[in-house]
C-alpha cells in the first residue's frame, strides 16, 4: 500500500505513524479500509452488518499494539463507523486510534465513531486517540466520537484523548462501567481556537466494589471558541473517584464546566476539582524576564499545560 504525502502527514499527526508499524493495523480512509492486517494475537475483522471492525485481542497477549487510525481527505465526506475492541483476560496492550481530517474544499467533512471497548478481567489497556484537522478556511471539520467502555474485575484502562486545534466541532461522549477492583483513568487534552466548539460528556459508573476512576481534563480555549465539559461520577459501591479539570481561558472564549457526583453507597468517595482562569500575569512576567517575548511565553505555558 502506497500513501501520498498528505495521507502520511495525517497518519503521523493522529497516530505517530511515520512508517507502517509491525503488528495489527487497520487504516480507514474516506470510509474504506485501505489497509487491514491481523497479527497472530490480535485479530482485525470487518463487521458483517455495518461499517466498522472488531478488534479481538487474545487473552494473555502482552507488549503488542494495534493501530486503527482514520483519515478523511475528500471534502464533504461523512463517515460513520462502529468499532468493537475486546481486550482478552490478562492481556496488556496499546491501542492507537485517532482521526485526521484534511478538508481543502467547502464542504463539511465529518467522522462519527461509535466505539465499544471491553477490557476483560485482569487485562490492561492504554488507548490513545488524537484528533487533528487541517485545510482551507471554508471547509468544516467535525468529529463526534462516542465510546462505551467496560472495565472488568481487576482490569485497568487508561484513555488519553487529545485534540489540539484544527477541528471545528466536536461532541464527545464517553460512558464507562468499572467493576470490582477495576481502574479507569481518562485524560483529556483540548485546545480550541477561532470559532471552534467542543463538548465532552463523561459518565463513569463505579459499579464494582473497590473500583476506582480518575478523570484529568486540561483545556485551553482561545479566541471566540467555546467548550463545555461535563463529568459525572456515579458511585454504586465502595469506590473511589476523582475528577480534575483545569482550563485556561483566553480572548473571548467561553468555558462551561459541569461536575456531577452521585453517591449511591455510603462507602463511595467521590471528589471533584475544577478551575478556570486566564494565564497568570506573574507567569508571563517570569518567562519574559528570562528573555522570552510575550508570545513565546504564552506558547511555553500552553504547551507545558497541555503536555
Partner 1 sequence: MLELRNVSLNLDGTNGAGKEILRNVNLKLERGKLYAITGPNGGGKTSLAKVIMGIYTPSEGQVLLDGEDITCLGITERAHRGIAYGFQQPPRFKGLLVEEIMKIARPNLDTVQLRGYLRDVGLCPEDYLDRDLGPGLSGGEIKRIEVAQLLARNAPVTILDEPEAGVDLWTIQKLISIITKRYKGNSQGIAIVITHNEQFLPVCDEIILLAEGSVQERGTPEQIWPLIRDDIVCKMKGQCGGSVYGVQ
* Residues in contact with partner 1 by the rule CB under 8 A: 218, 246, 280, 282-283, 285-294, 300-301, 303-307
Whole-number minimum distance, CB 292 to partner 1, in Å?
Answer: 6
Q: How far apart are the first and last CA of the chain?
A: 33
Consecutive H or E run containing 11: helix 5-15
User: Toward partner 1, which CB reaches closer, 32 or 289?
Assistant: 289
280-303: b or e for each residue (b if 16 or more CB lie within 10 Å)?
Answer: eeeebeebeeeebeeeebbeebbe
User: Toward partner 1, which CB reaches closer, 58 or 189?
Assistant: 189
Whole-number minimum distance, CB 59 to partner 1, in Å?
Answer: 35
Whole-number minimum distance, CB 160 to partner 1, in Å?
Answer: 14
User: Toward partner 1, which CB reaches closer, 45 or 285?
Assistant: 285
Q: Cα–Cα distances in Å, from 134 out to 44, 83, 109, 169?
A: 29, 24, 11, 13
Whole-number minimum distance, CB 305 to partner 1, in Å?
Answer: 5
Whole-number minimum distance, CB 221 to partner 1, in Å?
Answer: 16
75 contact partners, CB below 8 Å, separation of at least 6: 103, 104, 105, 106, 107, 109, 135, 139
Grid coordinates of 237: 459501591
97 closest CA partner among 110, 76, 80, 113: 113
User: Toward partner 1, which CB reaches closer, 39 or 283?
Assistant: 283
Grid coordinates of 133: 484537522
Whole-number minimum distance, CB 304 to partner 1, in Å?
Answer: 4
Cα angle at 126 between 122 and 130, to 5 degrees? Answer: 155
Whole-number minimum distance, CB 34 to partner 1, in Å?
Answer: 36
User: Toward partner 1, which CB reaches closer, 34 or 280?
Assistant: 280
User: Toward partner 1, which CB reaches closer, 261 or 284?
Assistant: 284
135 closest CA partner among 100, 180, 159: 100
User: Toward partner 1, which CB reaches closer, 256 or 286?
Assistant: 286
71 contact partners, CB below 8 Å, separation of at least 6: 7, 10, 11, 14, 27, 28, 29, 30, 99, 100, 101, 102
Whole-number minimum distance, CB 307 to partner 1, in Å?
Answer: 4
User: Toward partner 1, which CB reaches closer, 221 or 234?
Assistant: 221
225 closest CA partner among 139, 298, 166, 145: 166
Within 10 angstroms of residue 169's Cβ, the number of other Cβ atoms is: 18
What three-state secondary structure class fits 215?
strand
Amino acid at each position: 500500500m502506497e500513501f501520498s504525502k498528505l495521507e502520511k502527514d495525517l497518519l503521523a499527526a493522529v497516530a505517530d505513524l511515520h512508517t507502517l508499524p509491525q503488528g495489527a493495523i487497520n487504516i480507514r480512509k474516506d470510509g474504506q479500509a485501505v489497509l487491514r492486517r491481523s497479527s497472530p494475537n490480535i485479530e482485525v475483522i470487518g463487521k458483517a452488518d455495518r461499517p466498522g471492525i472488531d478488534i479481538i485481542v487474545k487473552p494473555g497477549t502482552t507488549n503488542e499494539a494495534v493501530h486503527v487510525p482514520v483519515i478523511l481527505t475528500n471534502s464533504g465526506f461523512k463517515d460513520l463507523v462502529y468499532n468493537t475492541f475486546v481486550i482478552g483476560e490478562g492481556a496488556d496492550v496499546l491501542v492507537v486510534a485517532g482521526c485526521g481530517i484534511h478538508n481543502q474544499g467547502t464542504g463539511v467533512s465529518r467522522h462519527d465513531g461509535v466505539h465499544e471497548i471491553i477490557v476483560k478481567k485482569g487485562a490492561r489497556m492504554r488507548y490513545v486517540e488524537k484528533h487533528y484537522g487541517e485545510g482551507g478556511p471554508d471547509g468544516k471539520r467535525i468529529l463526534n466520537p462516542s465510546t462505551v467502555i467496560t472495565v472488568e474485575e481487576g482490569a485497568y484502562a487508561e484513555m488519553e484523548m487529545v485534540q489540539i486545534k484544527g477541528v471545528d466541532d466536536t461532541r464527545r461522549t464517553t460512558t464507562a462501567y468499572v467493576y470490582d477492583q477495576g481502574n479507569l483513568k481518562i485524560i483529556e487534552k483540548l485546545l480550541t481556537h477561532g470559532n471552534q466548539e467542543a463538548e465532552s460528556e463523561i459518565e463513569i459508573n463505579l459499579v464494582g466494589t473497590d473500583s476506582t476512576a480518575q478523570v484529568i481534563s486540561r483545556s485551553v480555549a482561545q479566541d471566540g471558541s467555546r467548550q463545555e465539559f461535563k463529568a459525572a461520577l456515579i458511585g454504586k459501591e465502595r469506590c473511589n473517584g476523582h475528577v480534575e479539570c483545569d482550563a485556561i481561558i483566553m480572548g473571548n472564549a467561553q468555558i462551561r464546566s459541569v461536575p456531577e457526583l452521585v453517591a449511591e453507597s455510603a462507602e463511595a468517595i467521590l471528589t471533584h476539582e475544577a478551575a478556570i482562569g486566564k494565564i497568570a500575569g506573574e507567569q508571563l512576567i517570569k518567562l519574559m524576564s528570562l528573555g522570552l517575548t510575550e508570545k513565546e511565553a504564552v506558547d511555553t505555558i500552553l504547551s507545558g499545560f497541555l503536555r
